[in-house]
Amino acid sequence: MGTSTLQIVAELQRLKNTPSFDESIKGLGAVRFVAHCPIGASDVLTKATSLLRTVDEITLLSTSWPTDEQWSLKLPGWFTSVCAEPMTQQQAEQWLAWWRDLPPDEQAKVEIEKDWSLDNWLYWMQPENRQWFWWDAKILGDCNHVVVVVQVESWPFPWGSLRWLFKAAGASALEPEGV
């Protein structure tokens, strides 16, 4: 079993059962995020963890990475229905040219606000591309925020796929804690 497969197995266990107190975080360490959930943190957290469990289970049971069409049939409709349509090569080139002309602060804002396509999100969920793995989450007392802890392999790390997971599940934002 490869390292990423072992990490996915461990992640799946943490999604099903809260990590034990003495379980140590592997990799570089942990990063904490806060998800803002105006529709209610419980629903958002349930959707996010359920989707990750599904992805992990399919990944572990498959001999090869499923096609985007196969994933589309296996993933819940609430998620696939909010994903953007994939861009054609021409659309992607036009979008990138437009994006490059923006000032850096606008580039960052556009990246945060844009919807992800299913194929883009799945690319970052492939075992060889994963840079973060679920560790734990807790709903805060106001019931409109979730603190999410992920194990990371490097720093900085791409976490747009985590942001999209929570946005698709109903969060209005996902930010590193303390930002």
Q: What is the pTM of this model?
A: 0.90
Q: What is the pLDDT of residue 26?
A: 74
| Phi, psi of 5, rounded to the nearest 5 degrees | -65, -45
| pLDDT digits 0-9 by tens, 37-88 | 998 899 999 999 999 999 999 999 999 999 999 999 999 999 999 999 988 8
Lowest mean pLDDT across 42-46, 50-54, 139-143, 147-151? 139-143
Cβ distance 118 to 71 under 8 Å? yes
| pLDDT score at 147 | 96
